């Protein structure tokens, strides 16, 4: 079976428990809410994002992004649900037989600083290593994004490359090898 078919079959009906009434689950366009859209347009939220910074987000643009990920054979867009409300996303993308990338967008600022990023990164990495079978995960983090940097570092990611983004801002590419990270609670 191809990597794409494996990824699709694993994503169907997937739910990753995070404890404390939180979980991750793949989302579709019908899951997009006003909180999601307004959050992506918030300057504090989108200052470290790539796509949402380039244009004002609407229900249609966000639903199109979610639909694109839902249809992708090399990506899963997980919704972060806390107390039953979609409050952010974790995207596992560019998945191949050996590697993938991970990105976070927590658009509800009320959950910032409460450990959700660490838990979400751990669970998605455990899923990617254990269920998908990849060997390495990469994350690009703007150097000024201290919260994300600390979360990835806590999980076990190591810096591998420094570069500038398309706006000239300093970024670090982080890498996590299979077996070199904290274990996620099941």
In a domain, 155, yes or no: no
Q: How far apart are CA 157 and CA 138, in angstroms?
A: 8
Distance from the first to the final alpha carbon of the chain: 27
Torsion from C-alpha of 92, 25, 107, 132, nearest 10 degrees:
-10
Q: Which residue has the higher pLDDT, 83 or 51?
A: 83
Domain that holds residue 101: 3-134
Give the pLDDT score at 1: 41
Q: DSSP class of residue 184?
A: P
Token output for 176 = 């996590």
In a domain, 81, yes or no: yes
Count of domains in the chain?
Answer: 1
Which percentage of the chain shows pLDDT scores above 70?
90
124 pLDDT more than 60: yes
pLDDT, mean over the chain: 90
54 pLDDT more than 90: no
Exposure of 173 in the CB half-sphere (CA atoms within 13 A): 11
Sign of the dihedral defined by the CA atoms of residues 159, 141, 186, 127, in that order: negative
Q: What is the CATH number of the domain that holds 67?
A: 3.40.630.30
């Amino acid at each position: 079976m191809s990597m794409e078919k494996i990824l699709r079959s694993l994503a169907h009906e997937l739910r990753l428990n995070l404890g404390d009434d939180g979980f991750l689950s793949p989302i579709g366009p019908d899951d997009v809410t006003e909180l999601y859209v307004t959050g992506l347009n918030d300057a504090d939220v989108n200052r470290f994002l790539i796509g949402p910074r380039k244009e004002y987000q609407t229900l249609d643009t966000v639903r199109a992004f979610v639909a694109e990920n839902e249809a992708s054979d090399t990506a899963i867009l997980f919704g972060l649900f806390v107390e039953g409300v979609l409050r952010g996303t974790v995207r596992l993308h560019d998945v191949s037989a050996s590697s993938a990338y991970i990105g976070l967008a927590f658009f509800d600022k009320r959950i910032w600083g409460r450990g959700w990023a660490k838990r979400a990164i751990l669970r998605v990495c455990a899923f990617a290593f254990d269920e998908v079978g990849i060997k390495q995960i990469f994350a690009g983090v703007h150097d000024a994004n201290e919260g994300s940097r600390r979360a990835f570092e806590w999980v076990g990611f190591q810096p591998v490359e420094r570069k500038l983004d398309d706006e000239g801002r300093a970024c670090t590419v982080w890498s996590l090898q299979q077996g070199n990270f904290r274990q996620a609670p099941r």
